[in-house]
Amino acid sequence: MENIKNIAMRIRYDGTNYHGWQSQSNGVTVQSTIEKALSELTGSDVKVTGCSRTDAGVHALDYIFNFKSETKIPVEKLPYALNYRLEDDITALEAWVAADDFNSRFSVNGKRYIYNIWNSALKNPFLNRYSWHFPYKLDFKKIKAAAVFFEGKHDFAGFMAAGGQQKTTVRTISVCGAEQSGEFPELLTITVEADAFLYNMVRIIVGTLADVGTGRIEVSDIPEIICSKDRRQGGITAPPQGLFLKKVYL
């Protein structure tokens, strides 16, 4: 069995047409699509381990998974061979042979997410699938000021949906900020980078920041909301289609 390699791949995908990353009994997922393509390609059953359980409609500009295989296809040719079998909404970017103990779920050192809010009474035809359409006026200055309060090492128990399997709810956010795009002044992009994330953590942070933008929550209330560890103190869970996994750090 010495020919078994632990192969890691970087991919990018538009999540619009998938029921999230993780394989499930009903609906096509990114994981099941890739496992099917890799199994056909290598001629044996492939199971992959992903770096994040993205929900239905969430996108990834950068995503890493790994799998064990005895395939003789040269690793540098794998992305092209895989892309040939995939629809245009998933692209394999690179592949490499990882250390035997590399595991995409546990070996990742950090991740950066971005979240797009389209703040206008009118929709944007190009951003329907890629942003949260928030029709009521948001105070971007307040959102920018509030975002930095999330930075640091905190217990984010109040910013988590049910369904996580973590041992601790303490996470360290290294970057939390908001900025307007140059292209559209109505587009606010929120960036959150952390060592690891709880289930729906970014979307709950964004939902809470939207409440700051409408004035329902004060900027200065954020630290107290974090400390409360009470999910009900924050805002709603922002919808999935505005969320992008932007960068995975190894």
Alpha helix (H) residue ranges in the chain:
30-42, 78-85, 140-147, 201-214, 222-228
Of 170 and 175, which CB lies nearer to its own copies in the complex structure?
175
Q: List the x/- string, 68-87, binding to its own copies by CB under 8 A.
A: -----------xx--x----
Q: Which two tokens stand for residue 124?
A: 């944007």
Residues 6+ positions from 227 with CB-CB distance below 8 Å: none
Of 10 and 142, which CB lies nearer to its own copies in the complex structure?
10
Minimum Å gap between C-beta 14 and its own copies is 4
167 CB neighbour count, 10 Å cutoff: 5
Minimum Å gap between C-beta 100 and its own copies is 28
Minimum Å gap between C-beta 218 and its own copies is 32
Per the CB < 8 A criterion, the answer to whether 156 and 201 are in contact is yes
Minimum Å gap between C-beta 95 and its own copies is 12
Kindly report the length of the chain: 250
* Site for its own copies, residues 127 to 146, rule: CB under 8 A: 128, 130
Question: Nearest CA to 154 among 62, 220, 71, 225?
Answer: 225
* Binder of its own copies out of 41, 56, 81, 93 (CB under 8 A): 93
Q: Which two tokens stand for residue 127?
A: 């951003």
Examine residue 110 and tell whether it contacts its own copies (CB under 8 A).
Answer: no
* Site for its own copies, residues 42 to 71, rule: CB under 8 A: 59, 61
Whether 55 sits among the annotated catalytic residues: the reply is yes
Largest Cα separation within the chain, whole Å, is 61
Helices (H) and strands (E) in the chain, counts: 5, 10
Minimum Å gap between C-beta 148 and its own copies is 23
Examine residue 123 and tell whether it contacts its own copies (CB under 8 A).
Answer: yes
Of 89 and 221, which CB lies nearer to its own copies in the complex structure?
89
Strands 59-69 and 49-50: antiparallel
Examine residue 13 and tell whether it contacts its own copies (CB under 8 A).
Answer: yes
Q: Check the annotation: does 18 bind a ligand.
A: no
Examine residue 24 and tell whether it contacts its own copies (CB under 8 A).
Answer: no
Count CA within 13 A, CB hemisphere, residue 235: 24
Question: Nearest CA to 155 among 145, 142, 170, 175?
Answer: 170
Examine residue 247 and tell whether it contacts its own copies (CB under 8 A).
Answer: no
Of 64 and 90, which CB lies nearer to its own copies in the complex structure?
90
Residues 6+ positions from 140 with CB-CB distance below 8 Å: 119, 178, 180, 188, 213
Please report, as ranges, the residues that interact with its own copies according to CB under 8 A. Answer: 12-14, 59, 61, 79-80, 83, 88-93, 121-126, 128, 130
Task: Give me the active site residues, please.
Answer: 55
